[in-house]
Amino acid sequence: MQTSLAKKICIYLGAALLALVIALPVLWLFIMSISSSTHLTTLPLQWWPDSPTLENYRSLLIYAENTPSQSFLYAIRNSIFIALAATGLSVAAAIPAAYSFSRMPGPRRKNLLYAVIAIFMLPPVALVLPLYTVMSALGLLNTHFALIIVYCSILLPFTTWLLKSNFDTIPSDLDEAPIIDGANRLQAIWYVILPIARPALGAAVMMSVLLAWDEFFYGLLFTNDIRAKTVTVAIADLAAGRVADYGLVSAAGILAAVPPVILAFFMQKTLVSGLASGSVKG
Amino acid sequence: MISYRKTVTAWLLLTPMIVIILGVSGYPLIKTVYYSLTGAKLIAPDLTDAWIGFGNYIRALSSSNFREAIWHTTYFAVISVGVEMIIGVMVALLLNEVFVGRTLLRAMLILPLALPTVVNAMMWRLIYNPDFGALNALLVQLGMLDAYRSWLGDPATALDMVIVADVWKNFPLVALIALAALQTVPKDLYEAATLDGAGMWNRFWRITLPAILGPLSVALVLRTIEAFKVFDIIYVMTRGGPASSTKTVSFYVYQEAFAYMRVGSGASYALIVVLISACLIAGYMYLIRKHGEA
């Protein structure tokens, strides 16, 4: 009884500590975002603003030319467009590939699958120089198109692998039956596999969007103004500004974090089971 | 005949993926190898790419700055991944117990994971701010520190502070993977062990750890591969400074190629990084093949 009480106290202390460690930094980011910059540069530091303000959010979200709102809103637009287009392209190419890997295995295709995964794990510095010179020669630097294509090097191997391991769990009788009846493979994928694999498809789309939204390296190198700069690059710019307005930077960070955080919480179960199956089954 | 047609179909279905991968990864990788053997400059890569053989590599390996960058990267990867594994497993053990608020706490783990890397870096940079940062204020107000410090401005602490920020973002990944593995361990195994007189410590080493070792080793290798690529968090928090104390290999390649415009030698640095990563990736491949065929 005594040990069990001690254990209980340990558990609750640990849980409280964990909650604080996770919540405090983000809470402070939020508090900074609703503080004026004079308040944040007053010493000694106060932990709550006398007059909380939404001014930082207003100056980011209400469009006006040649202000932080211009670069920020354009960056949000660019990020949404690029993330969705790159995800669409990757998933469209990954579905038939995953089906082929799953249903028509062969030794050479198996090696190809491992090669694709290995390529996915290469550091981007291994690919960035030729990608840059090619994009530059084609006049594609600072366009959405360049980032959409380049992001496929990250998203496509990942989605292919995720979908392949899910297709493996679908009994193959289900899609062999219509093929014996004369349907072709694409029809079998479209009418049989995809409806069953809808949760996995959702997970693949979500993870791809998260990866693309988070990407920074290529975005930094391939874009240079509001036409194509992504939100991660815009935030790095804001943070590096000479007269850094801490409140404004924090508000931009919060806004950029909202879409992925909502997406991740919303798909929590899928995310966790995806992580788990990815590591348990390989 | 049928099997021949099936093979053709199999490759046709793979074609879109193969074309894209060759375009965005295969060709660039080969071209990087080519660049690394030339003196190409960023301004006119095709005009000045005189063939110089292994010159770049010889210079790269004899450069003490680059060796230092490799050391920083190794230090970053080993310490951050090591701490993430330890904290991650401890958190997973905690969340595997039954208590009020467990579901909420598990959901909170998603927050650092979902926060964009750049936002995480920016958040910690503000917290560490030498003049107005929350860390200084907190430690001074609690009396644990006499005067404000420049956490990221001091070569002695900068890299460790970056590691703290990285650990905060990534320990939940290890925790979630370990937790999922823990939940597959049968409860009666513990009861039997307890009846046999095994203490908590013994049960952890004999039952828990062996059960989660597979998924954990995959997480370990995955995180190490990721940590070796580290760039975003360095760029936003320190730009490799102060005094190059946080300059990692990815940042080094970035500077060589895009600040000093030396594509040829940048490519040779990049390929040395690839070689190191390749060893880690081979380890990962070994693990997933082993698990896949078991």
Asked if residue A164 belongs to a domain, the reply is yes
> A130, B288: Cβ pair inside 8 Å?
no
The sign one gets for the Cα dihedral A90, B232, B225, B81 is: negative
Residues of B in contact with A29 (CB under 8 A): 123, 126
Domains of chain B: 55-293 (1.10.3720.10)
**Residue B99 contacts A where some CB pair is shorter than 8 Å:** yes
Longest Cα–Cα distance in chain B = 82
Residue by residue, what is the 3-state secondary structure of A143-201?
CHHHHHHHHHHHHHHHHHHHHHHHHCCCCCHHHHHHHHCCCCHHHHHHHHHHHHCHHHH
Residue A273: its pLDDT value, please? 66
The sign one gets for the Cα dihedral B87, B91, B93, B94 is: positive
Asked if residue A8 belongs to a domain, the reply is no
Q: What single DSSP character describes residue B99? A: -
Report how far residue B290's alpha carbon sits from residue A1's, in angstroms, rounded to the nearest whole number: 44
Residues of A in contact with B112 (CB under 8 A): 22
Asked if residue A25 belongs to a domain, the reply is no
- Extended beta strands in chain A, E state: none
Asked if residue A111 belongs to a domain, the reply is yes
Residue B41: phi and psi, rounded to 5, are -110, 155
Residue A226: its pLDDT value, please? 87
Q: Where are the alpha helices (DSSP H) in chain B?
A: 2-21, 27-36, 55-62, 64-95, 102-108, 110-114, 117-127, 134-141, 158-182, 187-195, 200-203, 209-228, 232-237, 249-254, 263-293
Query: Which of A41, A94, A282 lies closest to B288 in CB terms?
Result: A282
- Please count the structural domains in chain A: 1
Residue B294 above 60 pLDDT? no
> A118, B266: Cβ pair inside 8 Å?
no
Residue B162 above 80 pLDDT? yes
Could you tell me the CATH number of the domain that includes residue A193? 1.10.3720.10
> B110, A280: Cβ pair inside 8 Å?
no
Q: Residues 233 to 292 of B: which have CB under 8 A from any A CB?
A: 235-236, 249-250, 253-254, 257-258, 263, 266-267, 269-271, 273-274, 277-278, 281, 284-285, 287-292
Report pLDDT digits (tens) over B243-290: 888 999 999 999 888 888 888 888 888 898 888 888 888 887 787 777
Q: How far is B132 from chain A (nearest CA, A)?
A: 6
Residues of B in contact with A148 (CB under 8 A): none
Residue A242: its pLDDT value, please? 62
**Residue B117 contacts A where some CB pair is shorter than 8 Å:** yes
Mean pLDDT, rounded, of chain B: 86
Distance of CA B245 to the CA centre of its chain: 18
Q: What single DSSP character describes residue A35? A: S
Query: Which of A12, A28, A129 lies closest to B257 in CB terms?
Result: A129
Report pLDDT digits (tens) over B19-30: 999 999 999 999
Domain of A252 in residue numbering reads as: 62-280
Asked if residue A276 belongs to a domain, the reply is yes
Could you tell me which of B65, B62, B85 has the C-alpha nearest to residue B73? B65
Q: How far is B222 from chain A (nearest CA, A)?
A: 9
Q: Residues 178 to 217 of B: which have CB under 8 A from any A CB?
A: 180-181, 184, 214-215
Report pLDDT digits (tens) over B29-65: 998 988 888 877 777 655 456 777 788 888 888 888 8
Q: Do residues A162 and A97 lie in contact, with contact meaning Cβ atoms separated by under 8 Å? A: no
> B17, A94: Cβ pair inside 8 Å?
yes
Residue A282: its pLDDT value, please? 36
> B16, A96: Cβ pair inside 8 Å?
yes
Q: Is A268 exposed, middle or buried (0-12, 13-18, 19+ CB in 10 A)?
A: middle
The per-residue pLDDT string of chain A (282 residues; one tens digit each, 9 = 90 and over) reads: 456 888 889 999 999 999 999 999 999 999 999 988 777 777 777 778 777 888 889 888 888 777 788 889 999 999 999 999 999 999 999 999 999 999 888 888 888 888 888 888 888 988 999 999 899 889 999 999 999 999 999 899 989 988 988 888 888 888 888 888 888 888 888 888 888 888 889 888 988 998 999 999 999 999 988 889 999 999 998 887 766 688 889 999 999 999 999 988 888 777 766 665 554 443
Q: Which residues pair with A279 in a beta bridge?
A: none
Distance of CA B41 to the CA centre of its chain: 30
Residue B292 above 60 pLDDT? no
Q: What's the pTM value of the predicted model, to 2 decimals?
A: 0.90
Asked if residue A46 belongs to a domain, the reply is no
Asked if residue A99 belongs to a domain, the reply is yes
Interface test mutation site (partner B, options A121, A148, A185, max chain B beta carbons within 10 A): A121
Report pLDDT digits (tens) over B111-156: 999 999 999 999 999 999 888 888 888 888 888 888 888 888 889 8
For residue A44, is the peptide bond before it cis, meaning its omega torsion is within 30 degrees of 0?
Answer: yes
> What value of ipTM does the predicted structure carry?
0.90
Q: Do residues A116 and B16 lie in contact, with contact meaning Cβ atoms separated by under 8 Å? A: no
- Inter-chain Cβ pairs, chain A and chain B, closer than 8 A: 281
Report how far residue A78's alpha carbon sits from residue A144's, in angstroms, rounded to the nearest whole number: 7
Residue B221 above 80 pLDDT? yes
